[in-house]
Amino acid sequence: MPDDMQDTRSRASDLVGVDPEPGVSKKDPIVVVDGITRTFGGLRAVDVDHLEIQRGVITALIGPNGAGKTTFFNVLTGFDQPDTGEWTFNKKSLKGVSASHVARLGMVRTFQLTKVLSKLTVLENMRLGATGQRGERFWAAPFRFLWKAEEDSITVRARDLLGRFNLAAKEGDFAGSLSGGQRKLLEMARALMVNPELIMLDEPMAGVNPALKQSLLGHVKSLREDGMSVLFVEHDMDMVRDISDWVVVMAQGRVIAEGPPASIMADQRVIDAYLGAHHDTDITEIEESVLAAEVEAELRADDEETR
């Protein structure tokens, strides 16, 4: 629909003109974070002063291993309690709200280490994702006619998603028999069964093959077209560059930079802390040997200096 197109274009354009500064405020944030800290013993795993996640766009959260990305996810979704801090989702404070309630409010996350229910079939895993089912109430559960119709429509939705995630042929298998990448896919599809407003994906593409990755990227983009907000953690810079509208960089628990992908990839702090100097060159064999020669020369120079 042209109306919708208009809508999404304006949403992405909400970010135009927003300063690429850590903690910058945005036009229509879905999540607003203030002063969240989480320490493990002496280690400050998360220490975020202020962060806003824009509604209706795809935001990437990147940073080195141990930067605190997963811990930040855990805190936001009620799976972990912060030492200090406040945060809101759709202007509602989520402090002290239970994880299941957070999900029902429309903020659904997946796990870096997948949590598929291996003794349920793939289809049952998917059905579990639908919220507010009548048959989930004790007094209605024994009477199938009360929930059969709803279960059928849930199944239709589940099959549709399984098809898009290349899992249709697996629907009758135990989820425990899936490969690592397939589990990632199932978990993402299952999270979508909740119909979230904001979906938070912790390394969704880890271990997914390139061809499928391409089609899933398309799928994530279509979620955005449908008005869903996406926040994802990913180490694959191609994916970040390809689909994200905004990138937030964490290092040692702090947000050190945020901005559009292009400006982030060029940001010297980000390159130093995370990307490395040659992050965006596709390294061919010849270039590699040139590179090796350069490094060697540098080393030799260093050697001579110290001598």
Ligand X SMILES: Nc1ncnc2c1ncn2[C@@H]1O[C@H](COP(=O)(O)OP(=O)(O)OP(=O)(O)O)[C@@H](O)[C@H]1O
* Interface ranges with ligand X (CB under 6 A): 40, 43, 45, 63, 65-71, 112
71 binds, among other proteins, Mg ion, ligand X, none (CB under 5 to 8 A by kind): ligand X
Q: Supply the minimum distance, in Å, between the C-beta of residue 65 and Mg ion.
A: 8
Please check whether residue 164 is in contact with residue 158, taking contact to mean a CB–CB distance below 8 angstroms.
Answer: no
| Options 88, 90, 112, 131; binder of other proteins; rule CB under 8 A | 131
Q: How far apart are CA 29 and CA 159, in angstroms?
A: 33
Minimum gap (Å) between residue 213 Cβ and other proteins:
23
68 binding partner (options other proteins, ligand X, Mg ion, none; Cβ < 5 to 8 Å by kind): ligand X
Task: Tell which positions 98-117 bind Mg ion, by CB under 5 A.
Answer: 112
Name the minimum Å distance from CB 166 to other proteins: 20
Residue from the set 50, 104, 157, 254 that interacts with other proteins by CB under 8 A: 104
| Residue 115: CB minimum distance to other proteins, A | 4
In the complex, least distance from residue 233 CB atom to other proteins, rounded to whole angstroms: 15
Nearer to ligand X, 88 or 252 (CB): 252
Could you say which of other proteins, ligand X, Mg ion, none residue 268 binds, taking C-beta under 5 to 8 angstroms by partner kind?
Answer: none
39 scored as a contact of Mg ion (CB under 5 A)? no
Interface residue list for other proteins (CB under 8 A): 77, 79, 98-101, 103-104, 108-111, 115-120, 124, 127-129, 131, 133-138, 140-144, 147, 151, 174, 176-177, 190-191, 193-194
